[in-house]
Structure formats: C-alpha cells, structure tokens
Amino acid sequence: MRFLQNLVSYWLNRALTDTLANSRGFQRLAIRMDQFLSEFKPSEFTKAFREEMTKSFREEQMRNKKF
C-alpha cells in the first residue's frame, strides 16, 4: 500500500511541476516575485523582530541548560 501511495504522489508531483513550469502566468509570477524580493530591504520592524526573537531564543536555551 505504501508503494502505491508513493507512486501516486510521485506522478501527481511530477504532473503539477511540469504544468507549472510550462505555465506563462506562473513564470510571470515567479519573475515578479524574484524582482520584489531582490528589491526588498529589511525594515526597522523586521530588524527589531529578528533581534527580539534571537533574544528570546537565547533565553530559552539558557533556561534549558539549567535543567
């Protein structure tokens, strides 16, 4: 049964990938997304969020080391 599930999953994945790769709309979306992400500069919010998450992560690590 597991073999059949893997086989179906493989073929569906391949069909979806081929369909998207040949889709002009998807290609345009990928190009626009790439341009947007290459122009994206981290804002002050993202910097502060990253710092806060790093701080929280380090505090959690320190708490776990005590146990």
Instruction: State the Cα–Cα distance between residues 54 and 15, nearest whole angstrom.
Output: 40
Parent domain of 18: 2-66
The count of domains in the chain is 1
Instruction: State the Cα–Cα distance between residues 63 and 67, nearest whole angstrom.
Output: 7
All residues at 6 or more sequence positions from 26 whose CB lies less than 8 Å from its CB, including other chains: 20
pLDDT at 67 over 80: no
Q: What does the pLDDT look like over 24-56, one tens digit per residue?
A: 999 999 999 888 877 777 777 788 888 999 999
Residue 66: the pLDDT is 65
Name the residue type at position 17.
Answer: T
